[in-house]
């Protein structure tokens, strides 16, 4: 069994404890205590129906072995990953370039992978606890847009948990808000008169509040939970195996990044022996990570608002995991590269790639596309490269459509959610208001 240890040193715990705790008792983040070494040739077939679930099962088996969830692993991966994850070549691009489309889940962004995997694991743990412990979990989540919708969709309708989503009023895209507020039953959305930072502060305060933690069995589902990162390593494994089979070479990835959860999953996959070569972190104007790599001095900043809003992070929490993986700055510089892209360049890239390749990027994916376009020609030619597409452009139609001059078709999963009525409660950005709203019940 491979346990999980805290980035700050607390005793290692088994997988299911790490999933339930969310954050380690010493305030650090859980990371694998060791990385299993996988042989690429030992993986099951990486393409075709069910391939992601099969690859994930093989990749994650060493973490599940010996844990109470071990017998559930195959069921968890097949239930959590029941949507496609295509790798689509871009003909005519400089170098060998493919796009890894992570937006075919229920809420059309990559957060669906982590949210569904975590929800399925927590469901299996609830089943093991059985009827003896009838207390429902209350999943509290603060969101800047995509996480809340993915978590709501993943936990909607389960009998063992309630979900409370906090989002900043007026600061998420109209379709993101719809995905946060279209649920009935066990999911409630609170529209907070404040910023994302206020929402996050209220969630932290709720966990520390004796009144709320006495009344509710609180649990969290944000990206500090290791149960959201492990499943993300699986799509990097699958994509890199597919690339190796098609091109006989290791894949290099460009990853649109904010809080660094997605890219840490990529680096974990590389550490576990998958055929992954270079990794480029593509950031928007929130330059904390590119500047840190450049100067060697870490400096958290307040976040600035950009077109790629799900990446507006000034103090990425998963940097702690990245630094544990590469403790020395020179080692980190050799392991990854990080660039920053302006809003102006995002707009130009969306226009240009639509005109050239008929591809429509969401603003986040466009940050990655711009980072790729700025690589030296020799570097592009030394691919194969994979651009990670983090969301469907239809989620951000109000930005994308004026740039490409045509409507973006809405995927059917998203269209279904857009047709549902909204249900939300507006609250002040204070713990007292959250307490009252939670106690009022659905």
Ligand X SMILES: *Cc1c(COP(=O)(O)O)cnc(C)c1O
Binding positions for ligand X, rule: CB under 6 A: 109, 111, 146, 223, 256-262, 310-311, 364, 390-391
Spatial CB neighbours of 3, under 8 Å, sequence gap ≥ 6 = 12, 13, 14, 15, 33
Q: Are 430 and 437 in contact (CB under 8 A)?
A: no
Nearest distance in Å: CB 41, ligand X: 30
For ligand X, the closer CB: 21 or 146: 146
For ligand X, the closer CB: 73 or 279: 279
Closest alpha carbon to 438 in 198, 202, 149: 202
Nearest distance in Å: CB 262, ligand X: 4
Report d(CA 347, CA 341) in Å as an integer: 11
For ligand X, the closer CB: 67 or 146: 146
Report d(CA 186, CA 179) in Å as an integer: 15
For ligand X, the closer CB: 138 or 222: 222
Nearest distance in Å: CB 190, ligand X: 20
Nearest distance in Å: CB 283, ligand X: 9
For 139, the enclosing helix (H) or strand (E) is strand 137-142
For ligand X, the closer CB: 108 or 404: 108
Q: Are 289 and 319 in contact (CB under 8 A)?
A: yes
Closest alpha carbon to 236 in 46, 72, 65: 46
Nearest distance in Å: CB 111, ligand X: 5
Nearest distance in Å: CB 250, ligand X: 22
Burial track 43-52 (b if 16+ CB lie within 10 A, e otherwise)? beebeeeebb
For ligand X, the closer CB: 310 or 427: 310
For ligand X, the closer CB: 5 or 364: 364
For ligand X, the closer CB: 261 or 384: 261
CB atoms within 10 A of CB 399: 20
Report d(CA 215, CA 349) in Å as an integer: 50
Nearest distance in Å: CB 37, ligand X: 25
Helices (H) and strands (E) in the chain, counts: 19, 13
Closest alpha carbon to 280 in 377, 380, 354: 380
Nearest distance in Å: CB 258, ligand X: 4
Nearest distance in Å: CB 236, ligand X: 13
Q: Are 91 and 353 in contact (CB under 8 A)?
A: no
Gyration radius of the chain over CA positions = 21
Q: Is 34 helix (H, G, I), strand (E, B) or coil?
A: coil
Burial class for 330, CB neighbours closer than 10 Å (0-12, 13-18, 19+): exposed
For ligand X, the closer CB: 107 or 240: 107
- Token representation of residue 5: 């240890």
For ligand X, the closer CB: 96 or 111: 111
Nearest distance in Å: CB 400, ligand X: 12
């Amino acid at each position: 069994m491979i346990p999980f240890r805290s980035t700050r040193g607390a005793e290692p715990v088994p997988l299911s404890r790490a999933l339930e705790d969310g954050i380690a008792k010493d305030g650090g983040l859980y990371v694998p205590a060791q990385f299993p070494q996988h042989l690429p040739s030992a993986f099951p077939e990486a393409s075709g129906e069910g391939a992601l679930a099969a690859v994930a099962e093989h990749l994650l088996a060493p973490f599940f072995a010996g844990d109470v969830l071990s017998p559930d692993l195959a069921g968890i991966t097949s239930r959590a990953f029941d949507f496609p994850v295509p790798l689509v070549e871009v003909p005519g691009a400089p170098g060998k370039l493919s796009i890894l489309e992570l937006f075919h889940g229920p809420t059309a962004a990559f957060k669906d992978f982590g949210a569904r995997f975590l929800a399925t694991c927590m469901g299996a743990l609830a089943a093991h606890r059985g009827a003896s412990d009838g207390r429902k979990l209350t999943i509290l989540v603060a969101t800047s847009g995509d996480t809340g919708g993915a978590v709501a969709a993943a936990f909607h309708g389960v009998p063992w948990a309630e979900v409370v989503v906090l989002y900043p009023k007026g600061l998420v895209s109209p379709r993101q808000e719809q995905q946060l507020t279209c649920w009935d039953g066990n999911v409630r959305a609170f529209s907070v008169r404040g910023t994302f930072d206020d929402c996050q502060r209220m969630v932290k305060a709720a966990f520390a509040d004796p009144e709320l933690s006495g009344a509710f069995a609180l649990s969290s589902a944000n990206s500090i939970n290791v149960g959201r990162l492990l499943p993300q390593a699986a799509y990097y494994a699958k994509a890199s195996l597919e690339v190796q089979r098609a091109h006989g070479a290791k894949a290099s990835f460009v990853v649109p990044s904010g809080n660094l959860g997605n890219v840490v999953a990529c680096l974990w996959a590389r550490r576990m022996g998958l055929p992954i070569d270079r990794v480029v972190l593509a950031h928007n104007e929130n330059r904390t990570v590119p500047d840190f790599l450049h100067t060697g001095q870490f400096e958290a900043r307040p976040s600035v608002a950009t077109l790629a809003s799900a990446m507006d992070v000034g103090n990425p929490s998963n940097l702690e995991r990245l630094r544990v993986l590469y403790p020395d700055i020179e080692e980190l510089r050799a392991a990854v590269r990080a660039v920053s892209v302006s809003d102006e360049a995002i707009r130009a890239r969306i226009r240009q790639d639509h005109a050239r390749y008929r591809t429509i990027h969401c603003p986040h994916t466009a940050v990655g596309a711009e980072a790729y376009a700025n690589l030296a020609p020799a570097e592009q030619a030394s691919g194969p490269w994979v651009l990670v597409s983090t969301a469907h452009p239809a989620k951000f139609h109000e930005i994308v459509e004026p740039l490409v001059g045509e409507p973006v078709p809405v995927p059917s999963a998203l269209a279904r959610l857009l047709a549902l009525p909204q249900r939300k409660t507006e609250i002040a950005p204070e713990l007292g208001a959250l307490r009252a709203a939670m106690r009022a019940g659905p």
